[in-house]
A and B are shown apart, each in its own frame.
Chain A
Amino acid sequence: MYRRGRRRFLEGRLAELTEEDLAKLSPEQLRELQRQQCIFCHIIAGKVPARKVYEDELCVAVLDINPGAPGHVLLLPKEHASVLPQLPEDVIGHLGMVVKHLCRVVVQALKVDGASVLAANGVAAGQRAAHVMFHIIPRKEGDGVGLVLQERRMSDEQLHAVQQQVIVAVRKVFNSPDDALRFEGVTSADGGKQSAGDGRQPAGDGQQPKAENQEAKAEDRAPASANQSPTIEERTPDPKSRHPDAEDRGPKAAGGASLDDIANMLLGKR
């Protein structure tokens, strides 16, 4: 029944719209279009049958039709978002609590030894559908599901360089240098008092020129890709869809691209 419903959904999909048609649509209409194209939004709305195991006002949990193990659950926010950073923080927090309880439920009900929780942002991370989801996969030792993290050798210097790089970004994202840097042992040139732009450069560190180059590259890339392959959202950013915190961070988050830009880039969408 489920599969038949899915086929019907795919057949009933909107005919491909031309770029011109898309340009005429309002941001609201584009959002709606995305929702109409998202099979998980249809599952959430009950238009496509699925094996629902949990539902509340913010999220739905259904069984994956191609499970990694019996009882493999997908936890979906009801609100449509392609990648995690597009969701409001209260929804993300709620998902965290539900994930915890679903892990407990999976272990209790299926008599397994644990559960793997996995989310993917971007095709490179294995994301296949344009709707945020958390996989909760019941696990037993030696079940062959995989999800093993192999250690990669990195020198202390390499680890320290990454730490420096991430700290600078963390300070920017959290927008509160004092909170984010309540620890010692880390070179911080600006003492956390300068603007985010200046804060990008760690003190007297070999990383400095490299970081600048990367930033420059990222800024070059963003407008170029917008020219070559304009995406739906790049042309008409929808302010409503933005993360509530987006305004705090300014309209440009994460290396000069908007969250919607990132979402499109990650999903390799037109």
Chain B
Amino acid sequence: MMANCPICDLLARKEGLVYEDDKVAALIAPVPAVPGHVWVVPKKHAATLDQVPDAVMADLFVKVNKLTIALFDSVKPEGTNVLVQNGTGAGQVLPHVIAHLLPRVQGDGLNVQWKPRQLSDDEMGTAELALREAASSIGVFEKEPEAPVEVEKPKELTVSEEDYLIRQLRRLP
């Protein structure tokens, strides 16, 4: 929950909700691009994918899939899109990660195509090398955190001010 986040606000008010568990919630988009447009969001506030723990990402995608099936069952589209606009450059408007589920029918006026480009071998090679090098950092994913174990600090180890003063006194010649 974060102040000034419209999504956190909607979640708090449970507005338009169609699914909720401990990590993920889904709601009918209040500003839909197509009828049946659903937002699947992590419940804990995260502005970009970077801030979503790996375990929650996995759960988010599993729920995206299940909600896709539910949309096929209810809205009965001819297809569906999953879209995440991650970062302002990608057109992200709201400060909360959203996976958009878009039920699609032919000629619904929604354009999720881009103009395919032809890049030179050099350009492709440069991108490939840069990405491959950076992607070598991927591999170890955070596991779901275990139930937090409260480790109480043993009292006797804390150095109180009094102890400190006493030790100072002892150190005096």
Contacts and interface: CB of A to CB of B under 8 A. Distances in A.
Contacts of A96: 57-62, 64
Interface string A167-178: 111101110000
Contacts of B61: 92-93, 95-96, 99
Given A54-B132, A71-B130, A124-B104, A147 B38 contact: no
Interface in B93-138: 100, 102, 104-106, 108, 110-119, 123-128, 130-135, 137-138
Nearest to B28: A163
B66 A174 contact: yes
A69 B117 contact: yes
Nearest to A105: B134
Nearest to B131: A53
Nearest to A113: B89
Contacts of A141: 88-89
A54 B138 contact: yes
Interface centre among A119, A134, A144 (most CB of B within 10 A): A119
Given A114-B90, A147-B83, A167-B18, A94 B49 contact: no
Interface size class of A (residues with CB under 8 A): 35 or more
Contacts of A266: 78-79
Contacts of A134: 82
A33 interface: no
B13 to A, nearest CB: 9
Contact of B74 (A63, A69, A103, A166): A166
A107 interface: yes
B149 to A, nearest CB: 24
A185 B141 CA distance: 38
A137 B114 contact: yes
Contact of A117 (B78, B79, B84, B117): B84
Contact of A110 (B33, B106, B131, B139): B131
B50 interface: yes
A76 B148 CA distance: 35
Contacts, number: 302
Interface of B is mostly: mixed
A84 B135 contact: no
B113 A70 contact: no
Interface string A78-116: 000000110101001111111111111111111011111
Contact of A70 (B70, B71, B78, B127): B127
Contact of B116 (A67, A119, A168): A67
A158 B118 CA distance: 43
Interface in B6-52: 14-21, 26, 28, 30-36, 38, 48-50, 52
A11 to B, nearest CB: 22
Contact of A122 (B52, B80, B110, B126): B80
Contact of A109 (B21, B32, B114, B130): B130
A214 interface: yes
B73 interface: yes
Given A94-B58, A163-B18, 6 more contacts: A105-B137, A122-B80, A123-B78, A139-B91, A146-B113, A152-B33
9 contacts: A69-B114, A69-B117, A92-B65, A103-B49, A114-B86, A116-B86, A146-B111, A166-B28, A255-B73
